[in-house]
Structure 1
Amino acid sequence: MADTIKGRGSRLHLPGRFERSVSERVDDGWTAPDEPESGPDPLRPRTEVFEETARSIISRNDSPDVGFSQSVNPYRGCEHGCSYCFARPSHAYLNLSPGLDFETKIFAKTNAAELLRREFARPGYRPSPIALGINTDAYQPAERRLQITRRLIEVMLECRHPFSLITKNALVERDLDLLQPLAEMNLVRVHFSVTTLDPHLSARLEPRAAAPHARLRAMQRLHECGIPVGVLFAPAIPWVNDHEMEAVLAAAREAGADSAGYVLLRLPHEVAPLFRDWLQAHVPDRADRVMAALRQMRGGRDYESNFGTRMRGRGEYADLLAQRFALALRRNGYDPGRPEVLDCSRFLAPRRSSPQGELF
């Protein structure tokens, strides 16, 4: 069993499901007990950011239980290191571990803004709201230096294109100068994912995300600047944070949120063994109880991928969560029937670049 790694959500180099061979670290007996090992410290893995040239930037989906048809992810992998992240299995496509590699090997799409402008300039493009930063957080630590997300938002503003974003990082405040004019034209909504109000639990669940109070402070700042904000209580984890649902919705409402949602913990592919390991490392006294409750809501399995139930689960426990959520919405003055409609009519397609240049 590996030791807990400070600042990391996973402690395993769990191989991806496509790997044909697996390497394992062993002691060959050649290092004296008092002699330091060579190479990187396994208990302090460094974050590596790799710049990549993407071939496309807009992902499209027709999933009936997802509220958007287009999304843009400026990064692959996420240094926030959320132990429960449903996107972890995507690193297996890169022949990397969905465990530690997902949060220490980050791929930055440095040409994202250029690709987005090119996509908007296509003659057949029809605007619909884009969800920014869905698989991995668009405001993770690498963004402070690389500013890929900021350049994407600059393109959205230039082209008057509607979008929403979801983040766990207060860094979003940096881009107020862009978000304010977008909000004035009803072209943007910002959602904050708040999993818990307990900073100690947050530091273990999502070690490099902004602290809960920092997210709420950023939410209030955006609200005061006229930017519509919402909260997502996700994931709801039985016996870990589900008891905080009402408190999170109340705190977010006080900070200016006018919409709210929740998602039950999802454990697709490699996320299940990674999260079970997290439970054993951080809440071993409840580990079996947590997984039993999840299996009760997932038809006896760790996860069900069926549309409709994958976000909410099924059974008595899932029904109770839904009832509590609906009651918390009413109690805190959220409008559950209010549609989050962004304006697509303002879209201005950018001019396509011409080898002849511009005369005027």
Structure 2
Amino acid sequence: MGPDKYRVRAGGRRGILAAAVTVVCAVTVLAAPGTAFAAPSPTPSPSGSPSASVTLPPDKDLEAVREKLDDLYHDAAVATDAYNAAEEAAEKQSAEIVDLARKIVKGQQKLDGLKARAGRAAAAQYRTGGLPDSAKLLLSDNPSQFLDGAGRVLQGERATKGLITELTQTQQDLKQYAADAAGQWNRLEAGRKAKAAAKKKITQRIAAAEKLQSTLEKKQKTRLAELEREAAYKAQTAWLDTGILDEVHSKASAAGRKAVAFATAQIGKPYVWGAEGPDSYDCSGLTSQAWASAGQPIPRTSQEQWKQLKHVDVKDMRPGDLIIYFDDASHVAMYVGDGAIIQAPRPGRTVSVGGAGTMPILGVVRPDA
């Protein structure tokens, strides 16, 4: 169904805006690079120039290339989420290790002080012949001295017991701190390996995508871009044809308006995996920083945003809400109204406006619920 037909069905300003978004989506959709498809060999020209005459392969072949590129970039997005999660965990674990180290130093100092007190008490007992205060008191033949000293003996016994208890507890605390620190080091090392594996997968998938696209002739790249726009237009139109915008009427909250304003100001900046500004972003780097600028910190990754933030129905979404895409929550974009999103799409692209229905929607979350 074309834009004109959509305008008739939707009607009014909302229909025109929605149709405009559909067209924007068809102009600003994703394109990119991947692995193992060989470009058809061009037909040699009489002059011997390899590119003087190019016969384009059937659309079904370029469609297979497009799907392969989508798969490669999707894999890279999943790995990027894993990388970001490992990075975030490493920062927390490092901070906890530093905190535990401080506790260990402080605990050791306390233990040294307690041991010094115990040593002084032992030395005093040795100087008095090793006879406990309670025994000396019982041997006294002065009743008033007995009565006056009874309280001091009781206090001394309590102090001794307290010292022993404190020594024991401090030693136990130090042992636990050491165990916790060792556990954090082990988790930090495991996270380092996970991060390295994710980085390797990201770079492999992006390199494969770039290699695949580099095998295409200029006319093939142009046709591939057309196929991408057509696929995005078709998906957005199908989404709009459900009548979803007839149900979406909520206005942005004050924080939501700030988040949208931040995201809008980033349009044109490049996508870089693992980046969270200010010069470049990945998908969740953009959304997390947008909401941080609105005074509402949210999880760093799209998967954690999906897990931790409040879910709302698509029909209830409002500008500033985040749309989570794909079954594995590997992509996120910010809804800005009238069927449009702002997103950092993928490597080789920039932060841009697109159609909210161009990718499979998993659900919508609200940072400031």
Same fold (TM over 0.5): no
TM-score with structure 2 length normalisation?
0.21
TM-score (norm 1): 0.21
Q: Computing the radius of gyration over CA atoms, which structure comes out larger, 1 or 2?
A: 2
**Richer in helix (by share):** 2
Of structures 1 and 2, the one with the larger relative CO (CA 8 A, separation 6+) is: 2
